[in-house]
Structure 1
Amino acid sequence: MPAAPLGRRGLLKALAAATTVLAAGPLTTAPAEATASLTAWTTQSLEAFADTLIPGQRRHPGDLPIAGAVTGPGAVQAGAVQVLASPDLPLGPWLPEIAGLLDARALAWAATRLLWLPPGWPPFVGLPSDHRTALVTGLFDPADLDHPIWQVLALLVGLAFDTAAHQHTADALAAGHPGLTWIGFPAPDADGLWRFPEHSYNRPLADLHPNTTASGSPA
């Protein structure tokens, strides 16, 4: 259910710290451990938010958090909630409040538009797909007081899909990570390292300086 008002300064500090941790390298907590502390209500709201940003197909009939707007994998299948909830990040204690804030926005949205929300589900989950999209679009308006919160959450959701931030990249590819597979991320060489023998334009971009050392460093 919607939670008490956020302590925005503390939350923004936690969000900034989260982006710093992710920039340093992959998370180390197993996906099952990452979401163990979340209630179903919070998880469903976060899944619906992630699915609004990067839609995917439903996991099973009646999968209401995923709107089912497209075919193929989306942010939920790629582990967005696992990234948000990882104990490696400082967001865990804030996630119920973030979900509550999102659901409060959804309640207000539905009330002003006379939308029926299905009982037993978080309000944001109950919104039709087009209304979810319109609501989330407004959350990123610079005039919205809370827009930094949603901007950082969107960054983390994108990292889950595009980089498998909660897994080592080689392990994620070997396991068929939905996001990396969908975008065609290349597999590593046999030793687990990535090498790019061809220049991006198939030619050197500049002549090699004559004083360049054997390691490629400038003299």
Structure 2
Amino acid sequence: MLPTLWMTSARQQARRDSPQPFPSICAVPGVALMSAIDRRAVLRALVVTAAGMATGRLSNLSEAGAQGAVSGWSVQTLEAFADTLIPGERRFPADVPIAGVVSGPGAVQAGAVAVLASPQLPLAPWLDEITALLNARAIAYAAAHLLVLPITSPALVGLSFRHRTDLVRSLFGPDDVDRPIWQVLSLLVSLAFDTAAHLDTGRALSLDHPGLSWIGFPAPDPDGLWRFPHYSYGRALSDLHPATTPSGSPA
């Protein structure tokens, strides 16, 4: 479980009572569930994407055409999911995927959806299936809580922020068969916001990346390198090895 992503976020609303048990997703008309094979393929694509971003091998992803790789409803669903994890303000008055419960940028503004939907990543072909599953869970949640959903937007988008939060919390339950999928999907959202893992760090700072600005990440020196003249512990912990290369690497 990734508690720091949304359970303890400083911009999340207060903890609420657990929702009532959901009816079986199988009872939702027209909803096709993932097979065991599909789950393995989706999780594999998620892990490969997360590993590539964490190691910096997928930096400077092109956002051009990213959202064109998936349907419009899938993009809205991903935006609502990302905004539930790391909320932000609405981009325009009718911006329904973003709940708008806080001021300032959130995961969507940080490029989380562009990361998930990038055609350069192995995850893109599975996003429609993942978002269909998310919306199926939202339909089941709405049925259990006697909520009326609009027909003009995806089911997850149609839920209020309070209900979105309750639903997303339930996805991380120990008995949820798809919990690994939600965990890695949330990790990708977090990487996009907290580290700008999809961009070169210097470029992200020049673009005033919302996540890096939020945590106060320092700008590099004029030559583009980061140097830290002040010791984290207030003193040097060891002497510099005489064979250390000019780049700071061990000999």
Query: Normalised by the shorter chain, which TM-score bucket?
Result: over 0.9
- Residue 82 of structure 1 and its aligned partner are, at CA, apart by 0.8
CA distance in 1, matches of 2:121, 2:137: 25
CA contact (8 A) 2:244 2:250 kept: no
TM-score normalised over the length of structure 2: 0.81
In the TM superposition, 1:1-219 aligns within 5 A as: 4-6=32-34, 7-25=38-56, 26-206=58-238, 208=239, 212-215=242-245
* Residues matched between the structures, number: 216
- CA–CA separation in structure 1 for the residues paired with 2:250 and 2:220: 28
18-27 or 43-52, larger mean C-alpha shift? 18-27
Aligned partners of 2:164, 2:121: CA distance in 1, in Å? 27
Q: CA deviation at 1:32?
A: 2.2
Q: Where in structure 1 are there 5+ consecutive unaligned residues?
A: none
Between stretches 144-153 and 10-19, larger displacement belongs to 10-19
Cα offsets for 1:47-69 (capped at 9, x unmatched): 00000000001111121100111
The aligned amino acid for 1:124 is: L
Aligned partners of 1:3 and 1:96 also within 8 Å: no
Given that 2:61 and 2:115 are in contact with CA atoms closer than 8 Å, whether structure 1 keeps it comes out as: no
TM-superposed CA distance for 1:4, in Å, is 3.4
The answer to which of 171-180 and 90-99 deviates more is: 171-180
Could you tell me which residue of structure 1 aligns to residue 19 of structure 2? none
CA 1:123 to 1:201, structure 2 compared with 1: closer, same or farther past 3 Å? Answer: same
TM-score of the pair, normalised by structure 1: 0.92
Q: Is the 8 A contact 1:80 1:157 kept in 2?
A: yes
CA RMSD, Structure 1 to Structure 2 (Å): 1.8
Deviations 1:12-46 (A, max 9, x none): 11112112211231433321222222211000000
Q: Is the 8 A contact 1:31 1:166 kept in 2?
A: no
In the TM superposition, what is the alpha-carbon distance from 1:217 to its structure 2 partner?
A: 7.0
Distance 1:201 1:109, change over 3 A: same
Partner of 2:20: none
Measure, in 1, the Cα distance between the counterparts of 2:164 and 2:83: 10
The answer as to whether partners of 2:77 and 2:131 remain within 8 angstroms in 1 is: yes
Give, in whole Å, the separation in 2 of the partners of 1:27 and 1:202.
33
Which residue identity does 2:243 align to in structure 1?
T
**Rounded Cα–Cα distance in structure 2 between residues aligned with 1:167 and 1:217:** 24
